[in-house]
Structure 1
Amino acid sequence: MMRLSVATLSGLPGDIDRPRYDRAGIGTGVVHLGIGAFHRAHQAVFFEHALNAGDLRWGVTGASLRSPAVHEALAPQDGLYSVVTRDGAAERVQVVGAVRDVLVAPRDPAALVARLAARDTHIVTLTVTEKGYASSAADSAAGYLAAALAERRSTGVDPFTAISCDNLSDNGGRLKQAVLAAARQSDPALADWIEHQVAFPSSMVDRIVPATDEDDIARLAGRIGVEDRAMVKTEPFRQWVIEDRFSGPRPDLAAAGVQLTADVAPWEEAKLRLLNGSHSAIAYLGGLAGIDFVHEVIALPAARAFVAALMDETAATLTPPPGLDVPAYRAALLARFANPALQHRTRQIAMDGSQKLPQRLLAPIIARLDRGLAAPALTLAVAAWMAWTGGRNDLGAAHAVEDPLASVVADALGKATAPEDRVAALLSLSQIFPVRLAGDQSFRQALIDDLALLQEQGARAAFARFTGR
């Protein structure tokens, strides 16, 4: 079957949305680092809106910092790909043309630095996952940004705006510190210039983007008549909140649906704790129960009651921003989780738990303990992660523990099997658990009790504790 491309675009069915601009005339105002499915379903769609509105400066150069897979999927398609939006039985297909090309950094790091340093690059966005901010090496995201900013400074080109789109509190501040660390390694004066001249606004992003599989690709091909190896599937909801602080030009983001605000922190906190925290809890408990998909977990009355209890605990720790109706947001989240068309796998969400737990689950637990409040649902979610690290679910099926600290966790656990020993070993990992929690005896005992319940009776029995609340 022929691939989606410029040559096949005109032959698509009439109900397929497609670019409303001449792609030959667009500039490259954006570079995105970490061009995976989430960027293609989220930030690129906002830039596509600007292009469709007639502002042709905002084409995107994507960059893969490790794998060539996205380049190899998009190159034969002239950068075109489909965003398949599913809501129950309803489905909408939009072909996005914003991505002009994809660079593979390990193949040609100089090309990436040159693109970042180009005069017409005004915005750099990043989705490099939580673990992508730990390094300031030359081949890290921070290293490439520092090298490009050095080039821009030496040639008199104004700095770009760097926007982190990862699920981290104060992600703009974290990105700035990583770039400053990379700059200091070669030139303290460069670090000083970056400190005072470059904007690193924090942002909050929200859209559920499950992994695409071969069945999705085949189903789309049957609908549009060509094969799209770079398609993404997602839900109707999308949100992007950005701190209103830029170094230079930007598109009309508000017209595209972006919320510009003076303070992203309360939006970040609400999303990380309510959406992402619930997602992690669903992933670990659902995964332990042998349930493959989020919508299948949330369809269980006991599991839904557990998620509601977890949201009750978390909501009490929030300071909602103006404009956020927390009860309405919670109801919308439950509806999004229940969308069967997404086929969002629990195992996908369970990845990289050591990087996700601190902001999603541990932060609200600390907030509650500091106020003298218990956190039974949140604590059970943490215990479920501890059980997940064992590598087997309640049915005895093995799973890979995909985590940057997987070997560290395994070494800490050793041959420990008793709940009290496993809890002690994992609480000793300061990379995950702050002293405030590791030293709290009530929290430790609650984890031991929950882990014992999970080991002896399984996740479904743990869910049942919250029925009728």
Structure 2
Amino acid sequence: MKKINKTTVDKKELPVKILQFGEGNFLRAFVDWMIHKANEAGVMNHGVVAVQPIAGGEFVANIFNEQDSMYHVYLEGIKDKKPVKEVTLVKSINEVLNPYSQYAEYEKLFLSDELEMIISNTTEAGIRYEEGDDLNATPPKSFPAKMTALLHKRYKKFNGDANKGLLIICCELIEDNGSTLREYILKHAEYNKLEESFINWINTACHFYDTLVDRIVPGFPKENINEIKEELGFDDNLVVKGEYFHVWAIGGDSIIKEKLPLDKAGLNVLFMDDIKDFRAKKVRILNGSHTAMVPVALQLGCQTVMDAFNTPEVEKYINQMVATEVLPAIDEDPEELKAFAAKILERFYNPYLKHYLKDISLNSISKWETRDYPTVYDNYKKLGKSPRLTTFSFAALLVLYSGKSEVSFTPNDTPEFIEFIKSTYKEYDINGWVSGILQNKTMWKENFTEIPEFGEEVSEDVKLILDKGMLKALKSIID
């Protein structure tokens, strides 16, 4: 079997226009895959240097070096209700370096004349403000401090030239990711009393973009890697497996569309002034469906999303909930919404990915409030109707967390919230139990008691599930 490197694969040198913080599976199967596609399509000619965001990581860096930073992205999924597979040998990364052991090379790249943009995925915990983080360290500890230090050096090297600012695109899974990074950079600048002209340069010459990324990336397929290597014909130890579906929504000024024209390569990249509405729509349809489905499907013995959608009652429940309660509460063109939802829900039928319900169930209490309660609220307040199916999912969640469900399940959520739900359970007073949960202000940001009917209907569904069992209860509420 062939090694994968420049002796076996033709790889041209690309100008380093992108410095990428993060070398993990997601960025490689999403951003770097897109950049490679755009390079191959001739709409871009961008090389990437991937920066490891934490110390260590020599083992991973060595594999990249051995493979000259090339690897395969192995995508499987459903498109137009048919199985689809795509395998791509990605060549967009020039090298991987670690700023803790290669600081001089790292700084040289950041200060290079041809660099145009920063792309990051330092996990949700990466964009955080650490007061007092030393900007003179090589490098500073936190990602915002690293960015502050190097942007300041770039500002000084180019004497505040407005044309040497950078485009900064964040992929971290937090709301307002780019805006939050800018806020923390400015905070570090002010704390360290950096010159006012530098702060003005950040605000005018550098462009920060909020984004929403979406592709399920399980990562290295260790369970069948030998079969995949045989299929590829390469001894590739950096293979990344992912789903075929992808979307990248990028919000901000129009400069990014000119500098990163990924859409011109046929990729599902959407440029918009503000991604808030798009994010809300995606969260309600995809994430809301996941969160609503989990407590129902788990109580039917399902383990994965595919198991759930192979259960006719669950499939019908989710499709009906989205069509009759979720979409009517979103203020957009109904036909466009229907098409958008169809593409989203098609992913639930993907037989190639083991998307475990127990993993999706992490922190379901806060997820349900964020993802599903807006649908409940809008149905009552805007549409004047009871969202029976969405409400049922909340009742299912309470039953699952109460320890009284038909299946044994250990929730992975805030311990004091789980304990409260369990310890206050009263078989003889379900209405009081539900009311106590809804009125627990430490658990919720929203005021659930604003809609009196909600608590009453949740209580009735809890009783229904406990009396009849999940399957019969579910059958009784779907048409």
Pairwise same-fold verdict (TM > 0.5): yes
Match of 1:79 among 69, 79, 89: 69
Counterpart position of 1:27: 15
Give the TM-score of the pair, scaled to structure 1. 0.79
Q: C-alpha displacement at 1:307, in angstroms?
A: 1.0
Residues 135/285 of structure 1: CA separation in 2 closer, same or farther (3 Å cut): farther
Q: 1:61 aligns with which of 43, 46, 50?
A: 50
Q: Report Cα offsets for 1:184-212 as digits up to 9, x if no partner.
A: 43347455543344322223333333454
Bigger Cα displacement from structure 2, 92-101 vs 432-441: 432-441
Cα shift at 1:463: 3.5
Q: Please, which of 349, 352, 358 is the counterpart of residue 338 of structure 1?
A: 349
Please tell me whether residue 298 in structure 1 is matched to residue 291 in structure 2: no
Task: State the shift of 1:48 in Å.
Answer: 0.8
The question of whether the paired residues in 1 share the 8 Å contact of 2:169 and 2:209 is answered with: yes
**Structure 1 residues 34 and 340, CA gap change in structure 2 (3 angstroms):** same
Q: Which has the larger radius of gyration?
A: 2
Which of 30, 39, 52 is residue 51 of structure 1 equivalent to?
Answer: 39
Opposite residue 305 of structure 2, the aligned amino acid is: V
2:376 and 2:253 mapped to 1: Cα distance?
Answer: 32
Matched, 1:144 2:146: yes
Contact 1:122 1:161 in 2 (8 A): yes
Residue 94 of structure 1 and its aligned partner are, at CA, apart by: 0.9
User: Offset at 1:163?
Assistant: 1.9
- Stretches of structure 1 that go unaligned for 5 or more consecutive residues are 11-20
Distance 1:75 1:244 in 2: 35
Q: What is the distance in 2 between the residues matched to 1:52 and 1:383? A: 50
Amino acid at match of 2:331: T
Match of 2:339 in 1: 328
Does the CA-based 8 Å contact 1:63-1:112 persist in structure 2?
no
Deviates more, 1:75-84 or 1:354-363: 354-363
Q: Partners of 2:106 and 2:421 in 1: how far apart?
A: 41
Residue 221 of structure 1, aligned match among 221, 229, 244: 229
CA shift for structure 1 position 85: 1.7
C-alpha distance in 1 between matches for 2:94 and 2:366: 32
The yes-or-no answer on 1:377 pairing with 2:389 is yes
- Equivalent residue in structure 2 for 1:154, among 153, 156, 162: 156
Select the residue among 282, 286, 297 that pairs with 1:275.
286
Matched, 1:124 2:132: no
Residue ranges of structure 2 left out of the alignment (5+ in a row): 134-140
User: 1:419-457 deviations in whole A, cap 9, x for unaligned?
Assistant: 765874586465x63233365444344445545555666
- Which residue of structure 2 lines up, in the alignment, with residue 95 of structure 1? 89
Structure 2 length as normaliser, TM-score?
Answer: 0.77
The equivalences for 1:242-281 within 5 A come to: 242-243=250-251, 245=253, 250-256=259-265, 257=267, 258-281=269-292
Q: How far apart are 1:75 and its partner, in Å?
A: 4.6
In structure 2, C-alpha distance between the alignment counterparts of 1:376 and 1:38, rounded to whole Å: 36
Q: Secondary structure at the match of 1:435?
A: coil
- Conserved in 2, the CA contact under 8 Å of 1:113 and 1:147? no
Work out which of the residue numbers 236, 241, 251 in structure 2 matches 1:233. Answer: 241
- C-alpha change, 1:253 and 1:439, in structure 2 (3 Å) is same
Of the three residues 316, 321, 325, the one matched with 2:328 is 316
Q: Relative to structure 1, is the Cα distance of residues 193 and 391 closer, same or farther in structure 2, using a 3 angstrom cutoff?
A: farther
> How far apart, in 2, do the equivalents of 1:308 and 1:348 lie?
22
Query: Any residues of structure 2 matched to 1:398-437 within 5 Å, and which?
Result: 398=410, 401=412, 406-407=414-415, 409=417, 415-418=423-426, 421=433, 424=436, 428=440, 433-437=444-448
Deviation at 1:297? 0.8
Question: Would you say how many aligned residue pairs link Structure 1 and Structure 2?
Answer: 450
Secondary structure of the residue that 1:289 maps to in structure 2?
Answer: coil
Give the CA RMSD over aligned residues. Answer: 3.9
CA deviation profile, 1:377-427 (whole Å, cap 9, x unmatched): 33344455556667998432546x2x6xx3564576584445765874586
Distance 1:203 1:439 in 2: 33
Tell me the secondary structure at the aligned position of residue 32 of structure 1. strand
How has the CA–CA distance of structure 1 residues 119 and 348 changed in structure 2, closer, same or farther, with 3 Å as cutoff? Answer: farther
Q: Quick one: distance in 2 between partners of 1:304 and 1:272? A: 19
Tell me, what secondary structure is at the counterpart of 1:255? Answer: helix
User: Given the alignment, which residue of 166, 178, 183 partners 1:177?
Assistant: 183
2:137: which partner in 1? none
